[in-house]
Amino acid sequence: MWDTILHRMLQRLIVTGRLRLEWPDGSTRDYGPGGGLLGEAKLTEPSIVRELVVRPVLALGEGYTDGRIETPPHKLYDFVALLIRNQQLGHMPGWFEAAQKLRGWLRGVEQRNNPLRSQKNVQHHYDISDELYALFLDEDMQYSCAYFADRDATLEQAQSAKKAHIARKLRIEPGQRVLDIGCGWGGMALTLARDFGAQVIGVTLSENQLATARRRAEEAGLADKCEFRLMDYRLLEERFDRIVSVGMLEHVGYPHLREYFDKVDSLLSEDGIALIHTIGHVAPPGPTSAWIDKYIFPGGYVPSLSEVSAAVERTNMWAADVEVLRGHYGPTLNHWRQRFEAALPKVREMYDDNFVRMWRFYLVVCEAAFEETFQGVFQMQLSHKQYAVPVSRDYLYEDDDHRMMHAAQ
């Protein structure tokens, strides 16, 4: 019975490209008209068939992680991208779409991230091992979207470009107090202190990140300019000339978006500028992937632009500029994925095969989501005063224009 139901689901779902599926009994069937992506997979146990019918999103990730769904590592991206591309065309069963809508409506209940729960969620992902992240991130340990203004840039160059782009938007002057909400391993804070003379306070809920950030500040001779705290941003009561937050809003949760921006409002000085960098949907709000929520980012939520805008509108701040970065996170994730695969011998020394497959699936499904869905990155510049930020974006590219003119001469 379950074989028949899944077979019919796939017949309806795959309307572009082709999926070649080997069933547990050894038979092989093709789905879709062909052309474009070709996905291949093998179902190794009958149990996964039923689970794919009943809870397809969760079962897909779980089945690949535990080996009940097999596809060669170099073909996993095409397999996942094919499924996501076809899902976007709206041919999933009606009950699945209804369940997704219900989860969307319940997101306000599911994502109640009080300070204690937030810390547990963050530590679930970030405190597994700094060594793992060092294997696939750039040298500065930037775990967020890079900026590929040059499509041939290395990951290190693109991450440096991201930090420079953000720093220009912050318009930092020496001696200004800067708050870094969700400071990670300290890369942004160290850059702002070293290159711009800022006094930076970084807050994180990850003990691993805190220890690494403090060590890096000491080694760089910047401990007097960078203070890192294990602290929930909601407990801060100080005022700052600048606020930066990169890749942290995704951990806030839908019910706390207004609380987050209200706090930024209260912490930002009257003449200050804040720069919020976050993954976001340029599509109607929807639920977090059940698999991502359970295994990778518990309590996480990717907001839509409409949700972020609604929260900002209720503060006393201008949305001085909103830039949507598209076509940058997919390449970033591709770099991470290639580095992860190249480092597999070292990864296997630390983790078992199930973890390797889980992490590979995580990187693949995120890359495919950015390439196949209406998902990008928002950089939102906020200020209390209308003219705290220049009225055009020319200032962001003055150095580039100068270099181009000099080269032409």
What is the C-alpha to C-alpha distance for residues 315 and 261, in angstroms, rounded to an integer? 7
Please list, residue by residue across 157-182, b when 16 or more beta carbons sit within 10 angstroms of its beta carbon and e when fewer do: bbbbbbbbbbbbbbbbeeebbbbbbb
Cα of first residue to Cα of last residue in the chain, in angstroms, is 74
Single-letter code of the amino acid located at 16: T
pLDDT at 350 over 80: yes
Q: Which pLDDT band, with edges at 50, 70 and 90, does 96 fall under?
A: low
What is the C-alpha to C-alpha distance for residues 312 and 302, in angstroms, rounded to an integer? 16
What is the C-alpha to C-alpha distance for residues 139 and 135, in angstroms, rounded to an integer? 9
Q: Which pLDDT band, with edges at 50, 70 and 90, does 409 fall under?
A: very low
Q: What is the predicted pLDDT for the residue at 122?
A: 62
pLDDT at 317 over 60: yes
Provide the token pair at 357.
């497959």
For the chain, give the percent of residues with pLDDT over 70: 88
Q: What is the predicted pLDDT for the residue at 297?
A: 85
What is the C-alpha to C-alpha distance for residues 158 and 148, in angstroms, rounded to an integer? 5
* Given the residues 145, 183, 226, 366, the one annotated as active site: 366
pLDDT at 92 over 70: no
pLDDT at 116 over 60: no
Place of tokens 């038979």: 27
**Are the beta carbons of 241 and 178 closer than 8 angstroms?**
yes
Looking from the CA of 131 toward its CB, the CA atoms found within 13 Å total 8
Q: What is the predicted pLDDT for the residue at 100?
A: 54
Q: Which pLDDT band, with edges at 50, 70 and 90, does 408 fall under?
A: very low
Q: In this predicted model, what pLDDT tens digit does every residue of 228-281 receive, in sequence order? A: 999 999 999 999 999 999 999 999 988 899 999 999 999 999 999 999 999 999
pLDDT at 109 over 60: no
Q: What is the predicted pLDDT for the residue at 403?
A: 42
Q: What is the predicted pLDDT for the residue at 398?
A: 81
Name the H helices within 273-352. Answer: 290-291, 305-313, 329-342, 344-350
What is the C-alpha to C-alpha distance for residues 145 and 333, in angstroms, rounded to an integer? 8
Place of tokens 């689901």: 9
Q: What is the predicted pLDDT for the residue at 273?
A: 98
Q: Which pLDDT band, with edges at 50, 70 and 90, does 298 fall under?
A: confident
What is the C-alpha to C-alpha distance for residues 18 and 135, in angstroms, rounded to an integer? 34
Q: Taking Cα atoms as reference points, which of 322, 324, 353, 328 lies closest to residue 142?
A: 328
Q: Which pLDDT band, with edges at 50, 70 and 90, does 1 fall under?
A: confident
Q: Which pLDDT band, with edges at 50, 70 and 90, does 99 fall under?
A: low
Q: In this predicted model, what pLDDT tens digit does every residue of 359-399 receive, in sequence order? A: 999 999 999 999 999 999 999 999 999 999 999 999 999 87
Q: What is the predicted pLDDT for the residue at 103?
A: 52
Per the prediction, the chain carries an average pLDDT of 91
pLDDT at 306 over 90: yes
Question: Cβ–Cβ contacts within 10 Å for residue 278, how many?
Answer: 21
Please confirm, yes or no, whether 366 is among the known catalytic residues: yes
Q: Taking Cα atoms as reference points, which of 386, 403, 220 lies closest to residue 319?
A: 386
Provide the token pair at 284.
């109607």
**Residues 6+ away with beta carbon under 8 Å from 34:** 17, 18
Distances (CA, A) of 377 to 122, 189, 309, 322, 396: 20, 20, 14, 10, 18
User: Mean per-residue pLDDT for 309-317?
Assistant: 97
Q: In this predicted model, what pLDDT tens digit does every residue of 34-82 receive, in sequence order? A: 988 999 999 999 999 999 999 999 999 999 999 999 999 999 999 999 9
**Are the beta carbons of 133 and 184 closer than 8 angstroms?**
no
Long-range contacts of 307-312 (CB under 8 A, 24+ apart): 307/254, 307/257, 308/249, 308/257, 308/278, 308/280, 308/378, 308/380, 310/257, 311/257, 311/258, 311/260, 311/261, 312/261, 312/380, 312/382
